[in-house]
Amino acid sequence: MAGKGSSTEARYEALPENFRDAIDQFARHLSSERARSAHTIRAYLTDVVQLLDHAGRMHAETLDAALALPVLRSWLARQRGTGAARSTLARRAAAARTFSGWAQRAGLVRVDQARQLGVPRADRTLPTVLAVDQAAALVEAPGAGRAAATDVSPVDVSSVTAASDAGTAPPGDEPHASDPVTLRDAAVLELLYATAVRVAELCGLDLRDVDDERRLIRVTGKGDKQRSVPYGVPAEQAIRAYLQQGRPRLLTPRGGSALLLGVRGGRLDPRTVRRIVAARAAEARVPSVAPHALRHSAATHLLDGGADLRSVQELLGHASLATTQLYTHVSVERLRRAYRQAHPRA
């Protein structure tokens, strides 16, 4: 249970040994499944700890008793009573079902009673999408970074990689007046919108994942599935400026082969990306958004521009076309709003 929050850790430590052993085995099982993201694994383990804590308060001493249908329903009812969103309830029910099913297959319980547990349907909310001009305003880097990004020569990624291994700047690279953090932020914003990557995917990019000749990045998504995603000229310019004039000045041995670096020279983390987007949104005077909104916006703008659904699915790395189809609802809703506002007989 390493890495859990203090509240969850305390609950875990207070559980009986047989419950803790089951959770530890379940954690190893989830980690061996390539189809689940680290975020999902953490959420499931937190949910299971809360479930078994609730079961213990109901005097359940065995796993069979803890995963009995009345206990499961009582736990979900309690979650509902705290005002948890339907999407949260749906995830917690899914975690309970996954845990119970695994426990039955592992011989830890006789019957998988959670199969009878109703899973609340998550609310289907349309994603936040910026208008095209808002997205453009957000990703436009501040003056110094943008100026530098428009006047750079092609970068040899292999030389940058070799320099990373040594913890030094690439051969022939000279310091530039532009702030390296500004150049990095420009690359972050351009990549988020140009490629529609998730924040974790962006932070996980290495130098070898950039194909600057073909303007492609290799993205490792959920379940360690890889996909190649194209990017345009503005992103190309921002990446080149950052690699030539920004990254070498941020690099320390901690950075290794990471494409994007933090101010201390290590790999950029998702929290910093969220701060970058929030700060730039305020500066550009566009609605405050999370980085994921740039992913939503890119997908919607592609569909609005005539891209086919299958291509957008591949670009986003969605396993199911149904997930991508959510963006068609966004496009239709935008059309409806425009119609109501502009058509004389709306």
3-state secondary structure 274-313: HHHHHHHHHHHCCCCCCHHHHHHHHHHHHHHCCCCHHHHH
How many C-beta atoms surround the C-beta of residue 231 within 10 A? Answer: 22
329 is catalytic: no
The residue from 222, 240, 249, 301 that is catalytic is 222
Taking the C-alpha atoms of residue 125 and residue 85, their distance in angstroms, rounded to an integer, is: 12
Which residues have a Cβ under 8 Å from the Cβ of 241 and sit 6 or more positions away? 145, 148, 149, 152, 178, 183, 186, 187
- Unique residue bearing structure tokens 């425009």: 338
Catalytic annotation on 295?
yes
Burial (CB < 10 A; 0-12, 13-18, 19+), residue 30, is buried
Task: For residue 292, indicate whether it is catalytic.
Answer: yes
Spatial separation of the C-alpha atoms in residues 310 and 321, rounded to whole Å: 7
Tell me the torsion sign for CA atoms 50, 53, 58, 63.
positive
Rounded CA-CA distance 147/145 in Å is 5
Active site annotation includes 193: no
Strand partners of residue 267: 261
Catalytic choice (44, 193, 231, 327): 327
Out of 11, 146, 184, 198, the active site residue is 198
Told to judge if 97 belongs to the known catalytic residues of this protein, a careful annotator would answer no
The set of residues, in sequence order, having a beta carbon less than 8 Å from that of 19 and lying 6+ positions away, is: 52, 56, 63, 66
Active-site pick, 20, 176, 292, 334: 292
Residues pairing with 220 in the sheet: 226
Q: In what order do the strands lie in the sheet with 226-230?
A: 210-211, 216-220, 226-230
**Distance of alpha carbon 256 from alpha carbon 267, whole angstroms:** 8
Active site residue 198: yes
Catalytic residues: 198, 222, 292, 295, 318, 327
